[in-house]
Structure 1
Amino acid sequence: MAILLSVVPSHSPIFWSCVGVYADVVKLLSPSKRLQKLAEEIARYSRRPPETPEQALIRRMNEAQTLAEYESCTIDLDHLQGHEAWKEEKDSIEPGYNPDVIENQVVRLRSAVIERDTAALHHLLRTGLSRDLGGMNSLRLYKHSWFGTKKLIDEYINTVLEAIDMFSETSSGNDIPTIEVRRSQQSLEDALKFFGRSALTLSGGALLGMKHVGVVKTLWEAELLPEIISGASAGSIVAAIVGSSTDERMVEVLDRFPFSDLAVFDPPGTGRLGWLKQRVYTVLRTGAFFEMENLKRVMKDWLGDITFREAHYKTGRVVNICVSSAGSAEPRLLNFVTAPDVFIWSAVCASCAVPGVFSPANIYEKDPLTKEEKLWMQNAKQTFVDGSLDHDIPMRKLSEMFNVNFFIVSQVNPHVRLFLDHEENFRGKQPGAPVPFRTPFQAAKEVLREEIIHRAQQFADLGIPQGLYRWASLFNQQYTGDINILPDIQGSEYLNMMMNPTSEFMLRATVAGERATWPRMCRIKNCVAIELALIQAIHRLRDRVNFGPEARAAREQKRSSSRGRPGRGRSARPSFLRRRSLSIESPVSGENGLVPPVPLRVRRNVSLGNISMKPTFSITTPRTTPYLSPQVGIEQDILADALVMTSAQSETLSGTAGTDSQPS
């Protein structure tokens, strides 16, 4: 029997039949009642009903190692359960969803692209782009299937992306007058300003914040990582490292994370007895639990002495670090606009200074003349603490400064996760009503949260010291965005939140972040692709104005080498990210990730007649919808324009503050 079990595969029915027989024998012959009970359980398990195709797909989905594997399993599940039919249908029960508006825009854009009508595209791109056109950004539209949403929405996104590509190509030709190129560039900049920007915000959470690495890894490999990245507390560590790394170094950085020195709490190799002695000594000397020097050493090793301005010029990304004033509830958002010469490592140390865990920290900057380190704002008494205390997710400030109106939030704060639900997860059953049902458990959590906020306000009114009730602000913030990524947290991980991460934990945390991001990738693509395509097109037109043909070709080759290459993901590219050609003359399959057009279906619409809907391409850079207030005033316009200025313009306008360089 033992030989047979060692030869037969574990997934074979023969294997489990043998296990059942073996368990029955043990049950009959064993004198121990405990062993008999165990054998009975094993025998019952071995005779369980065979796995259905649906169960097999769900198991494979939960065990998927890559986004491509996950996509394949979920699409098969949608076919098996009939959800693909819902995707093909035009209408839906969701309130606010208007497919006719989306279809009309697809027809107009496709007509302009096929006819290569740049005048029509000029008007459509400048005035007709919207993240929530026809209500297509509704979360409920992504709760009817395991992966993806209405095909009509995919067609709209892909048609817009093709239109942007065609417009920038035809407007950047060598025979086009420079004044016309500038006009086209201005049109795209206006379109981007109206469309808005997206931001990735990484929450605090001590050791749990390392799960953000998996979130960033998934978005970067899919080429959907927003240029604006914000982090608070532990999230600031990941935001700072990723935001100051070029695309050429990103693979190295992501590979280094699990095996690098991240001993931010204690020196490497500290034993249990040494840990206890160090805690007593540190508390008696500083009043805090840990030394800031360990965190400072780790961040300097990762970042060096790079400043916010230097990181922005180097990568084109906008790093934002949240800090709070130690003496008052005055939140600050540090970036290349508000603190251009501040060392990023210094801002991260201040953002991680949780009261009682680390001592309040000073912030340091680089002297513009001597390049020496000095106190920021020349005030040694001004200290800062954990940014999560006052604004874990700085939506308002990002909206005001950079016209951000769409937020992707990776949330791992333990006190926040208690009150959050996995609202975007699909459970295999489509909604049967247009209004979601609120469970009693959800209502109870909301009542508890409101009660905590109410009691904290009473303490403030009674004159209780600020340090006691300020912690209640942790419950009185906006912790969610437009898309919320909630990595799974194991119960044992709560006990080790203040311990140095091991390589094994970092690998598990990265996988947890990736798996939490996969179910939201279709919505992220549909919300971010248009924005990133507009930014790329603006860069192309600015190169046409500022550089000659050879220099433009070199810069375009450099950008292309970091986009869409197999080495970025190092695995099969998911089909929803592959581009399909909209034009009649399609490229050869396989070149640059492009695939030829598939046969078109005809959709009947009473107002439009028979319309041939051509599949387009799935882009490598997604975009978002307006959600907050738009930019107002000249100062905000200047800040938005600064985000897309090229290095050539920086050289031309040397000495002018706020100029931006093109990302590498």
Structure 2
Amino acid sequence: MGVVVAVWGVVVDVASFWQRKLRSWYSRKSPVELWLDILRTAEAFEDWEEAALHLDNLLGLDLWRNNPASKYYDWRLIAERLDSLASAREDGNFQQLVNLLRSGLVRNLGNITSPKLYNRSFAGTKYLIEEYITQIAEAVEDIRALPTSPSAIHGTGPSLTTQMKLDCIHDTRQAFGRSTLVLQGGAIFGMCHLGVVKALFLRGLLPRIITGTATGALIAALVAVHTEDELPAVLSGDGIDLSAFAPKTGTENGDVSSFHSRWQTLLRRIRRFSKEGYFLDVTVLEECVRANVGDLTFEEAYNRSKRVLNITVATEGQGGVPTLLNYLTAPNVLIWTAAVASNASLPSLYGRRKTTMLCKDAQGNIVPWAPANTIDFRHWTHTSYSDRDSPLRRIAELFNVNHFIVSQARPYLIPFIQSDMHGPSLVEARSKTIQVSAFLVRMVGLEIRHRLRQLDTLSLLPAGIRRFLVDEQVPAASMVLVPEVTAGDFVRLLETPTRETLDYWILRGERSVWPAVAALRIRCAVENELDRSYQVVRKFKAPGLRRKGSMAASMEAERRERNGAFGSIGTDVDAS
């Protein structure tokens, strides 16, 4: 009997062992699933990129990248131009190199920016396209590095005068065009914009022209007033003052930990959203942006950071106030008041909330900005299509912008839209059921947008509903970045911003950029190298080409000189 029990015990142990092994084998994730998990949960671009490269290798997508042929772009044209560029650089043929650059100054040459080329692989696009852009950028660098001489007209070698080189790079830069980052709305989701800016900045892809609308104007102001050295601390959240959101007894910013408090906060913010277009108290946001931006004007911020800040505002049709505020159109206007004006609502519908724009006079005193004294500002979503077109078109006219990078963070639109360059990660990571559901939701959203747009064209759409029109009409090539949010993220609309929530949204914003990094490099690498080369060559130019400061700054300098002070207010021309 004892022998039978012993044998039975051995059988049970062996069966249990193999049962565990089979269960472990059956439930074990495949390498693809493991790397997809790392891709979705990565907290740094380097981790995300490593996962993307492994997935390309496991799924054979690196073979697709190695094969230059594709029906989505003219790969023969790109291959031919790549060979010509390589030959011209190897032979040191400067004239041919310049001619090749000038003849191909199109961001979408041969359709190389088609989204279909960037949603097939996780880590990038065709190696041919990447090599071509690298060769173009290095060719610009070669031109910048050419030796200069006082007079190269009778020279025997490939040398230029500094002025000739400056003219060549300037004309090439002008022909290629420039990019701007547009930050659109977002309520508390607008904190994602900080993550978008951070990801672009760390990859060297942040445009020097930044545009903000509504909540995006607050974030754009926060970013554009800081120098390159200050931005890392700001974008990590360490340099941001959130004291304006500190709990106040008896106010909406008090403790919302209990269910009753959350419910009351929800009702209050829903009422505010229906009237003002925001979940958070706009006055608190105003205090926050003023605490972080200070009383800087557009021109002072530009002279400090060399970044062009644009803030769009909407009025009720009166003339005298530009719809686009920057260091050219409103140099002495305080930035924080312009950001407040961009967040203004329509007084005739929702009660008057007077927005006063302030400026600095010749003595540096803060006074009301005269052109805006009789103007009522309104929220941009309450304007017509033609009104909403004009600010972005004006940016294109003023700064030669032909490429728009749009960060879209409006909470009521995110479920219906998707980033243009989302990569295959969203497709590979979801089941077929989730894929179909997500597709149907987007199709319904697109159909609703289309019908609302038709009503808006006929002026039949109430102002309170117009906010659900998804995007502004972008007058040139564009790329839309959309953070991926979950249903639980909408509960965070009830939370008071803290350092923890700020870190959370910054990471969300970063993740929305990482799948688009390869596409942004193709679109912006040449532009960035042209800009960098132009700034380097200008330093060797004799300091005679200077842009005068504003009249107020000039008068202030004269006053200081009379008092014995010493200073210079000149700023570089076209430093942006």
Normalised TM-score (structure 2): 0.77
Letter in 1 for 2:295: D
Residues 389 and 474 in structure 1, CA contact (< 8 A), matched pair in contact too: no
Runs of at least 5 residues in structure 2 that lack an aligned partner in the other structure: 1-15, 154-158, 429-435, 556-568
- Counterpart of 1:124 (choices 100, 105, 111) is 100
The equivalent of 1:9 in structure 2 is none
Does 1:189 pair with 2:167?
no
- Counterpart of 1:310 (choices 282, 300, 308) is 300
Letter in 1 for 2:392: M
Sort the Cα spacing of 1:241 and 1:357 in 2 relative to 1 into closer, same or farther, 3 A: farther
Q: CA deviation at 1:387?
A: 3.7
The equivalent of 2:449 in structure 1 is 449
Residues 178 and 403 in structure 2, CA contact (< 8 A), matched pair in contact too: yes
- Aligned ranges 1:160-559 → 2 under 5 Å: 160-172=136-148, 180-256=161-237, 260-261=241-242, 263=244, 270-271=253-254, 293-326=283-316, 332-355=323-346, 359-367=353-361, 369-390=362-383, 391=388, 394-427=391-424, 442-456=442-456, 460=459, 468-469=462-463, 471-472=465-466, 474-475=468-469, 477-478=471-472, 482-497=478-493, 500-546=496-542
Residues 232 and 388 in structure 1, CA contact (< 8 A), matched pair in contact too: no
Q: CA deviation at 1:321?
A: 0.7
Q: CA deviation at 1:388?
A: 4.8
The equivalent of 2:431 in structure 1 is none
Sort the Cα spacing of 1:271 and 1:392 in 2 relative to 1 into closer, same or farther, 3 A: farther
Letter in 2 for 1:300: R
- Alpha-carbon distance between aligned partners in 2 of 1:60 and 1:304, rounded to the nearest angstrom: 41
Sort the Cα spacing of 1:82 and 1:198 in 2 relative to 1 into closer, same or farther, 3 A: same
Letter in 1 for 2:451: E
Task: Encode CA deviations 1:328-359: one digit per residue, 9 max, x unaligned.
Answer: 79981111111111111111111123455993
Sort the Cα spacing of 1:90 and 1:357 in 2 relative to 1 into closer, same or farther, 3 A: farther
SS in 1 for 2:329: coil
Q: CA deviation at 1:393?
A: 10
Does 1:649 pair with 2:519?
no
Q: Name the stretch that deviates more: 150-159 or 437-446.
A: 437-446
Q: CA deviation at 1:120?
A: 2.2
Letter in 2 for 1:51: K
SS in 2 for 1:482: strand
Letter in 1 for 2:523: C
- Aligned ranges 1:55-94 → 2 under 5 Å: 55-94=33-72
SS in 2 for 1:321: strand
Letter in 2 for 1:359: R
Q: CA deviation at 1:78?
A: 0.7
- Alpha-carbon distance between aligned partners in 1 of 2:281 and 2:124, rounded to the nearest angstrom: 47
Sort the Cα spacing of 1:125 and 1:93 in 2 relative to 1 into closer, same or farther, 3 A: closer
Q: Name the stretch that deviates more: 202-211 or 52-61.
A: 52-61
- Counterpart of 2:81 (choices 95, 99, 105) is 105
Q: CA deviation at 1:191?
A: 1.2
- Alpha-carbon distance between aligned partners in 2 of 1:110 and 1:487, rounded to the nearest angstrom: 39
Q: CA deviation at 1:476?
A: 6.7
Sort the Cα spacing of 1:245 and 1:411 in 2 relative to 1 into closer, same or farther, 3 A: same
Residues 240 and 319 in structure 1, CA contact (< 8 A), matched pair in contact too: yes
- Alpha-carbon distance between aligned partners in 2 of 1:448 and 1:427, rounded to the nearest angstrom: 26
Residues 414 and 483 in structure 2, CA contact (< 8 A), matched pair in contact too: no
Letter in 2 for 1:189: H
Q: CA deviation at 1:397?
A: 2.4
Letter in 2 for 1:407: F
Letter in 1 for 2:410: N
Residues 341 and 365 in structure 1, CA contact (< 8 A), matched pair in contact too: yes
Q: CA deviation at 1:377?
A: 2.9
Sort the Cα spacing of 1:328 and 1:380 in 2 relative to 1 into closer, same or farther, 3 A: closer
Residues 144 and 533 in structure 2, CA contact (< 8 A), matched pair in contact too: yes
Sort the Cα spacing of 1:333 and 1:522 in 2 relative to 1 into closer, same or farther, 3 A: same
Q: CA deviation at 1:243?
A: 1.0
Letter in 2 for 1:211: C
Identity, in percent, stands at 27
Q: CA deviation at 1:653?
A: 12
Q: Name the stretch that deviates more: 528-537 or 445-454.
A: 445-454
Q: CA deviation at 1:192?
A: 1.4
Residues 160 and 530 in structure 1, CA contact (< 8 A), matched pair in contact too: yes
Letter in 2 for 1:205: G
Letter in 2 for 1:50: R
> CA-atom RMSD, angstroms?
3.9
Q: CA deviation at 1:267?
A: 5.3
Q: CA deviation at 1:257?
A: 5.2
- Counterpart of 1:152 (choices 118, 123, 128) is 128
Sort the Cα spacing of 1:406 and 1:201 in 2 relative to 1 into closer, same or farther, 3 A: same
Letter in 2 for 1:345: W
Sort the Cα spacing of 1:398 and 1:171 in 2 relative to 1 into closer, same or farther, 3 A: farther
Residues 237 and 502 in structure 2, CA contact (< 8 A), matched pair in contact too: no
Q: CA deviation at 1:263?
A: 3.3
Task: Encode CA deviations 1:200-227: one digit per residue, 9 max, x unaligned.
Answer: 1111011110011111111111111011
Q: CA deviation at 1:450?
A: 2.6
- Alpha-carbon distance between aligned partners in 2 of 1:126 and 1:452, rounded to the nearest angstrom: 43
Letter in 1 for 2:301: A
- Counterpart of 2:113 (choices 117, 122, 137) is 137
Sort the Cα spacing of 1:56 and 1:324 in 2 relative to 1 into closer, same or farther, 3 A: same
Q: CA deviation at 1:133?
A: 1.5
- Alpha-carbon distance between aligned partners in 2 of 1:122 and 1:454, rounded to the nearest angstrom: 47
- Alpha-carbon distance between aligned partners in 1 of 2:570 and 2:403, rounded to the nearest angstrom: 23
Sort the Cα spacing of 1:415 and 1:293 in 2 relative to 1 into closer, same or farther, 3 A: closer
- Alpha-carbon distance between aligned partners in 2 of 1:357 and 1:70, rounded to the nearest angstrom: 48
Task: Encode CA deviations 1:47-78: one digit per residue, 9 max, x unaligned.
Answer: 74221111111112222221111111111111
Residues 381 and 463 in structure 2, CA contact (< 8 A), matched pair in contact too: no
Residues 312 and 661 in structure 1, CA contact (< 8 A), matched pair in contact too: no
- Alpha-carbon distance between aligned partners in 2 of 1:362 and 1:499, rounded to the nearest angstrom: 29
- Alpha-carbon distance between aligned partners in 2 of 1:455 and 1:377, rounded to the nearest angstrom: 37
Residues 142 and 149 in structure 1, CA contact (< 8 A), matched pair in contact too: yes
Q: CA deviation at 1:79?
A: 1.2
- Alpha-carbon distance between aligned partners in 1 of 2:454 and 2:416, rounded to the nearest angstrom: 16
- Alpha-carbon distance between aligned partners in 2 of 1:476 and 1:209, rounded to the nearest angstrom: 15
Task: Encode CA deviations 1:347-380: one digit per residue, 9 max, x unaligned.
Answer: 111112345599341211111x121112223443
Normalised TM-score (structure 1): 0.68
Residues 325 and 331 in structure 1, CA contact (< 8 A), matched pair in contact too: no
Letter in 2 for 1:425: H
Q: CA deviation at 1:484?
A: 1.6
- Alpha-carbon distance between aligned partners in 2 of 1:61 and 1:124, rounded to the nearest angstrom: 39
Sort the Cα spacing of 1:267 and 1:292 in 2 relative to 1 into closer, same or farther, 3 A: farther
